[in-house]
Copies of this chain bind each other. A is one copy, B any other.
């Protein structure tokens, strides 16, 4: 059992320029290797070798292998939120379908574009089983999208909505994973189907939140 509180975390954040570059190289190498060999076959030695950094240095930054992958996931998460926020603010869709459209499209684009994104998504897959300290990365995405949804649809931003968005996100994530498992470019039928699931569910729920609340 893993009782260590520092497991899967960052150990040191670089303050000097050289080590900041090394950190970036490590994350890039990690992403590349994830695409090439997959999650299980990924080795820290190879990541270090490819980043042209000794292993010792890798372990100065990350407490362990999970920490490395977690950092990559965090980087993906930031980029995704950045892009979705930008597009939503610019296009200001006024119904649920519009939000769904933008969000799913942006996710698909990133899966096609960003190295390693398909394997780590927003959080390491085979992570420590139960009771992780509420630090689920999908929860962060949900939080942000919840605010945007409330603002755009006029629904009260409460616990009810929280759950609905969380559930919707989980569905989107899994269906899109299936879409890219089926076709490396993302099976178009499944991507369309993903939007349908979200539309059906969200419209039903938002409606009942509006009339019933």
Q: Is A41 an interface residue (CB 8 A)?
A: yes
Interface centre among A126, A171, A184 (most CB of B within 10 A): A171
Q: Is A113 an interface residue (CB 8 A)?
A: no
Q: A177 — which chain B residues lie within 8 A by C-beta?
A: 170
Q: Which residues of A contact B (CB under 8 A)?
A: 1-2, 34, 36-41, 66, 118-119, 125-132, 136, 163-164, 166-168, 170-171, 173-175, 177-178, 181, 184, 189-190, 193-194, 196-197, 200-201, 203-205
Chain B min CB distance to A122 (Å): 13
Neighbour of A193 across the interface among B130, B136, B163, CB < 8 A: B163
Neighbour of A175 across the interface among B118, B171, B181, CB < 8 A: B171
Q: Is the CB of A175 within 8 A of B184?
A: no
Q: Is the CB of B184 within 8 A of A130?
A: yes
Q: Complex: how many Å from CA A24 to CA B38?
A: 30
Q: A171 — which chain B residues lie within 8 A by C-beta?
A: 170-171, 174-175, 197
Q: A136 — which chain B residues lie within 8 A by C-beta?
A: 181
A38-B130, A168-B197 given. 15 additional CB < 8 A pairs? Answer: A1-B37, A1-B41, A40-B127, A125-B125, A167-B175, A167-B190, A167-B197, A170-B171, A171-B175, A173-B174, A174-B174, A196-B201, A196-B205, A197-B201, A200-B200
What is the chain B residue whose CB lies nearest that of A35?
Answer: B129
Q: How many copies does the complex hold?
A: 2
Chain B min CB distance to A99 (Å): 17
Q: Complex: how many Å from CA A41 to CA B1?
A: 8
Q: Complex: how many Å from CA A177 to CA B132?
A: 13
Q: Is the CB of A129 within 8 A of B38?
A: yes
Q: A164 — which chain B residues lie within 8 A by C-beta?
A: 193
Q: A37 — which chain B residues lie within 8 A by C-beta?
A: 1, 129
What is the chain B residue whose CB lies nearest that of A176?
Answer: B170
Q: Is the CB of B129 within 8 A of A126?
A: no
Interface centre among A127, A130, A167 (most CB of B within 10 A): A167
Q: Complex: how many Å from CA A203 to CA B126?
A: 33
